[in-house]
Every structure is written in C-alpha cells, then in structure tokens.
Amino acid sequence: MIEMFKRKGQDYKIKERIIITLGDLVNASEKGRSHIKALSDIQYAMTAYINYIAKLPNPKAKEINGGIRYAIETIGKTSHIDRERNIVRSLKEWLKEASYYPIRFAILYTIGKLRPVDSELYRILAEFLNKNLTKSLIIPLLWAIGQQGTRETAVPVPIDYLGESYRKILDKMEIQDFAMDYEVIRYAVYALWEITMPCKINPKNCCQDNCRQTVISALEKKFKTLKDTFDKKSQTEKEKEYPRYLQAGRFINVVISYLKGDTANISPDDMELLREIREKN
C-alpha cells in the first residue's frame, strides 16, 4: 500500500483523497469492530508514508500541509490498534520540528484521539501547555487534554501525571488574547471538566476537593467577568456576540454544577453540550 504514495509525479490531491478514504474506512471498521488486519495495514501504511515524507531532503509544503496531516488523523482513527512506541515518539518530535508547524493542530487532535489512554501522551500535552500558544493551537490542545486526562474511564491517566495542569489552564484563560474569547473559554472549561470531575469509576484516582474548589471558584469568577464585560458593550456588539456569549456562559454554569455534584439541576440538553464538545473531533 505504501508504494502508491511514493510514486513520483502523483498529484498530492489524489494522495489526500486516498488517505481520507482510508480514514473513512477506518471509521466504518471501528464502529463494527471488524477488519482488524486491514486497520493494522492502514496504520502501517500511514506511518511509513509519514516517515517517507519526513526523510525527503526537500519535502513539499503541500505534502506536509495535506497528505501528512490526513495521514496523522487516520492513524488517530485506528485508535484501538496497539501502537508502537515510535509513533508516540514521532508525534512528540513533530511538535518540535519547524517543518511540521503548519499541521501541529492536527497532531494535537490525533494525540487526543489515541486510545487506550497513555500517560506518555498526556505528558506531551502537559509539556506543550507551557508554550506561548495561538488560538489555532490552544483549542486542539485543550480538547486533547480533556480527552487524555478524563476521569471518566476505568483506567485513567494517574492523577499525579495531571500535576498542576488545571492551574495552567486557568492561567491560559486569563491571557489577554483568550480572556474574552468565547470559543477558547469553552474548550478550557471542557478540559477542566474532564480532568477535575468527581470520579465515579475510579474514585481513588481523582483530584482532591481543594483542587476542584479552586476550579469552581475560578469559573464562577470567569462567568461574572464575562457577564459584566458583556453588559457594558454597545447594543450592536451585544446583538452580534449574544449567541456565543450565551453558549459560553451556559457551558460554564453546567460545568460548575457538575463539579459541585449538583447534577439534579443539569438537564439532558445541558449534558448534550458536554457530549457535543467531547465528541466534536
């Protein structure tokens, strides 16, 4: 399979379409939990293709921005296949390499999709959280942190690995570029929900009450700040921003209620807000 991607002169768009089609096949097979051998072959082909492009003396930008991006996403879709450690190491290295900067968002999303949860993957994300990030990177990073750090699994990442992640996320929410960005706020709140939620499956591997209370207090303060700032805007600005403001505010309050254990007041529609962002990518 890999040979078709090495053919010189082949339009990169054709390669993209082939890879996307393979990704669709992976999705279909995942739902039916069938064709394990085919999925393994696809994963191998995507990994070999990425390594092939990465070793070219002058890889084309279109190959990096297109084919490799979709290949990485396709690897993520083969999540129930046991991964070799070199894939994880490669993902970490690609995040550092300048040639891969245009597709770092895809790499972050892929790390979030990989299963079973791997502590090394969370360490990669926690390390990346220390960087100065643009909106295009902070959103996939926060989503991936939520996916890898969730407490709602039988074998979550050990709580010690989460360290001070929740404080770093709270700090990111107050950076000037993000402090009033409703979309970034929603993803930050989502990540906080996943990593600090009360643990139903594995209570011993859960953040302490003081950690959760810190998050709750910060979110209550954030909601008040959003409301106060919104109330001071002009009528034109309010009309333009209202749907996003309402969604962000509602999301914050749902997560606050959940973290407090006050789930009786959370409606099915409220829970759908959480499920939508969890399953968005």
CA 82 to mean position of chain CA atoms:
20
Give every CB contact of residue 124 below 8 A, 6+ residues apart in sequence: 88, 91, 92, 95, 111
Full pLDDT tens readout for the chain, 281 residues: 555 555 554 555 666 667 777 777 666 655 545 556 677 777 778 888 887 777 777 777 777 767 777 788 777 777 654 555 667 788 888 898 887 888 899 889 988 887 655 688 899 999 999 999 999 999 999 999 999 999 988 888 888 888 889 999 999 999 989 999 999 999 999 999 999 998 878 888 888 888 999 999 999 999 999 999 999 999 999 999 999 999 999 999 999 999 999 988 899 999 998 899 998 76
Domain ranges of the chain: 1-115, 119-281
pLDDT of residue 54: 75
The per-residue pLDDT for 171 is: 95
Q: Which amino acid is present at 112?
A: G
Task: Assess contact for 252 and 189: CB atoms under 8 A.
Answer: yes
Structure-block tokens of residue 133: 């990030």
pLDDT for the residue numbered 49: 81
Say how many Å lie between the first and final Cα of the chain, rounded: 27
